[in-house]
Amino acid sequence: MAEVDVAESVIDRLLLALAAQLATSPVPGPSAGAVEALADLSRAEAERIFGQAGHLVHYGADTEPLEALLHAITGILRVEAPAEVPVKPGDEVRLVGEVPESLTDYDEAWLRRITFTVRYTGRNAMVDVQSDLMEDYVIVTVPAAAVERIQPA
């Protein structure tokens, strides 16, 4: 097994374990230690976590616990997001204007039809968005100006 496959497999197992633990916890939400560990994720780390979890959901893993875990992580990142950003993690958005370069490989009609969830925001006017996990699990970085909030988290 290639090194990359092992790393992805380990991440998959950890995500499934965290999701299962969160689902059976008597206290709603992640523990204080989990919140602390996830509070300062980098864009690349967030992209990897959401991408891997999205892949699991899209290809048949038990959806409910993983989506609860993604919602919890998104909530943590929402609290950590810069105050001045126009959209925050958890907001549902649609593409507006010209299709961003990061999405030109996708069918434009599909991109205009789907709702994305903001997963990460930074101070550089860029946001990471992820499509509905049952439809696909693409996560990409786009200019904040390329999305319009349709529903706050």
Span 4-36, pLDDT tens digits: 688 888 999 999 999 999 888 888 888 888 899
Q: Are 40 and 120 in contact (CB under 8 A)?
A: no
pLDDT band at 153 (very low <50, low <70, confident <90, very high): low
Q: How much is the pLDDT for 5?
A: 84
Write out pLDDT tens, residues 41-73: 999 999 999 999 988 988 887 888 998 999 999
CA–CA dist 60, 89 (Å, integer) = 24
**Helix, strand and coil in the chain, % to nearest 5:** 50, 15, 35
CATH topology of domain 3-151: SH3 type barrels. (2.30.30)
Predicted TM-score (pTM) of the model is 0.88
Mean pLDDT of the region 113-132:
92
CA–CA dist 27, 9 (Å, integer) = 28
Residue ranges of domains in the chain: 3-151
Question: Three-class SS of residue 71?
Answer: helix
CA–CA dist 12, 53 (Å, integer) = 7
